[in-house]
Amino acid sequence: MSVMNHRSRPGGAARGARTARQRSVRRRKINAVVFALPALLLLGALVGYPIVFAVVRSLFDASGEHFAGLDNYTEMFGDPATLKAIRNTAIWIAVAPALLTGLGLMLAVLTEKIRWATAFKVLIFMPMAISFLAAGITFRLVYEQDPQRGVLNAVAVGAHDAFTDASPYPGARTRGSQVLEAQKGGGYRTARPVRPGDSLTLGLVGLKPTALPATAAQAKTASAAAGAVTGTVFLDFVPGGGGRPDAVDARERGLPQMTVELVRDQQVVGHAATGPDGTFRFDAVPDGSYTVRLPAANFAEPYGGVSWLGPALITPAIIGAYLWIWTGFAMVLIGAGLSSLPREVLEAARIDGAGEWQIFRRITVPLLGPVMTVVFVTLLINVMKVFDLVYIIAPGPVQQDANVLALQMWLVSFGGGNNQGLGSAIGVVLLLLVVPVMVLNIRRFRRSQT
């Protein structure tokens, strides 16, 4: 534009225009500096310089006085806490992004045909807006061990008890007498061989009288009968004291609903259950030597749910909370990609008789490839840096079991470790992990500019 101006004007005016143009170019350069400088200064001082500083600092020891070469980096793999953090971060990287992308794809496809899709998407996306702290507190409540308080274990126990009867006598034991002995794997069995015609008195203690079922009645010594094994299982304890061990006394009650097994040569040959007075009976028992046992199921502790916040499950539990937060992100992005798919292609496939699954596998997923890659890579970067959620959800004693690199970096440099050399090295490793994505971003940007 200005070139044309310059040509159209004669002599002195042209020179005037040129200096004016030069002036305006110079002014624009000054402007550029004024416009860009504040941001660039801040970036240089708080992002650029720290990177250089951290790299240099990672080559020095904890005190910062002695050059340590790559010692901090080798120490990362020698120090058990950091090694655990590296392993857990690897688990996060391997599991979370793939799971989330899959979940997002599934929900995006399923919601496509639902009328209340928008409400659903808003609900699933909502956790994206809240802090990891609030989400962490929320999930500490969800994962609470006590089924009376943690909703997940309440559900687990409810489901468990719906399929398995609760055991009637947790904690019951023998008096250490000669009649019953503990057997491997729990439960009790008779110490001496039993023959048809015997009547047994199997006394147990260790139960509060109030813990007995309401049906429990005064225990009765079972009458012996030829060709039958009979007996009584009872609470061998008289409230207030007195009473003989291994004998049925007045005011001692039977233990009803107890499972009793008759065993011959390691084979269970008979089942019985005790009545309200504690008696049981096996009829028509062929002659021979037997053992009577009270299987462990009678004495099992009640099912207490899953130990979500214990050392074994803590990382999967935290990943669960992370899924709750990020699924909406994956779903919305993939959903946007889905709605921009060429409808004609899908319709054409349908007309040609392709099934829904075939269309999904052969057309939808390949076309969604680029969107899914973006989702996956974004999650990958975020997963590497996960900190708050682990810090909040893992209770103090299992924090080490849940440790991840970003948390370990904090622990080592600020949270008591006070080893800034190692802390810097972990920071540098976190940076190195994202370098491929950095290169990818730059490439993508340059391609978009040409």
Partner 1 sequence: MTTQHTAPVGAAPRTTAAPPAARRPVRLTSRLTAFLGKGLVQALLVVVALVWLVPTFGLFVSSLRPSTDNATTGWWTALAHPGGLGFSNYSSILADSGITHAFWNTVLISVPTTMAVVVLASLAGYAFAWLEFPGRDVIFLLVVAMLVVPVQIGLLPVAKLFGALGIFGSLTGVILFHVAYGLPFAIFLLRNYFADIPREMLEAARMDGGSEWLIFRRLILPVAKPAIASLSIFQFLWVWNDMLVALIFADSGSQPLTVALQSQMRQFGSNIDVLAPGAFLSLVVPLIVFFAFQRHFVQGVMAGSVK
Question: Which tokens is 24 given?
Answer: 């305006």
CB distance 247 to 262 below 8 Å? no
Residues 6 or more apart whose CB falls under 8 angstroms from that of 136 comprise 321, 388, 389, 391, 392, 393
Q: Buried b vs exposed e over 343-366: b needs ≥16 C-beta within 10 Å?
A: eeebeebeeeebeeeebeeebbee
Q: Which residue in the block uniquely carries the two structure tokens 């699954």?
A: 357
Binding residues among 132-161 for partner 1 as defined by CB under 8 A: 132-134, 137-142, 144, 148-151, 154
Restricting to residues 283-312, which ones interact with partner 1 according to CB under 8 A?
Answer: none
Contact flag: residue 406 with partner 1 (CB under 8 A)? yes
Stretch that binds partner 1, among 31-39, 87-95, 175-183, 298-306 (CB under 8 A): 31-39
Which residues are within 8 A (CB) of 153 and not within 5 positions of it... i.e. 6 or more apart?
143, 144, 145, 146, 147, 304, 305, 306, 308
Q: What is the sign, positive or negative, of the torsion defined by CA atoms of 46, 47, 48, 51?
A: positive
Identify the residue among 324, 341, 358, 417 touching partner 1 (CB under 8 A).
324
360 belongs to the binding site for partner 1 (CB under 8 A): no
Binding footprint of partner 1, residue count (CB under 8 A): 98
Length of the chain: 450
Number of H helices, E strands in the chain: 16, 8
259 bridge partner residues: 273
Question: Closest separation between CB of residue 280 and partner 1, Å?
Answer: 38
Please state, in angstroms and rounded to a whole number, the distance separating the CA atoms of residues 93 and 335. Answer: 23
> Residue 310 carries which DSSP code?
S
383 vs 393: CA distance, rounded Å:
16
Residue selected from 13, 15, 19, 40 as contacting partner 1 according to rule CB under 8 A: 40
- Binding residues for partner 1 restricted to 230-289, rule: CB under 8 A: none
Binder of partner 1 out of 172, 207, 260, 426 (CB under 8 A): 426
**Which of 19, 49, 159, 339 touches partner 1 (CB under 8 A)?**
49
Helix axes 80-111, 405-413, angle to 10 degrees: 140
Least distance in angstroms from the C-beta of 378 to partner 1: 4
Q: Does 409 bind partner 1 (CB under 8 A)?
A: yes
Residue 336 in contact with partner 1, rule: CB under 8 A: yes
Footprint on residues 91-130 left by partner 1 (CB under 8 A) = 107, 110-111, 113-114, 120, 122-130
User: Of these, 16, 23, 51, 369, which contacts partner 1 (CB under 8 A)?
Assistant: 51
| Token output for 205 | 């203690």
Q: Which is nearer to partner 1, 275 or 305 (CB)?
A: 305
Closer of 224 and 434 to partner 1 (Cβ)? 434
Q: Which one, 127 or 276, has the nearer CB to partner 1?
A: 127
| Collapsed DSSP state (helix, strand, coil) of residue 303 | coil
The one segment of 186-194, 231-239, 265-273, 423-431 that binds partner 1 by CB under 8 A: 423-431
The only residue of 3, 4, 39, 162 in contact with partner 1, by rule CB under 8 A: 39
Closer residue to partner 1 in complex, CB, 113/208: 113
Select the span of 6-14, 27-35, 204-212, 270-278 touching partner 1 (CB under 8 A): 27-35
Nearer to partner 1, 8 or 31 (CB): 31
> Minimum distance between the CB of residue 284 and partner 1, rounded to whole angstroms?
51
229-235 and 199-204: which strand pairing? parallel
**Contact with partner 1 (CB under 8 A) among 89, 202, 391, 403:** 391
DSSP state of 72: H
CB of 47 to partner 1, least distance (A): 6
- For position 162 contacting partner 1 by CB under 8 A, the verdict is no
User: Looking up tokens 């199921």, which residue turns up?
Assistant: 297
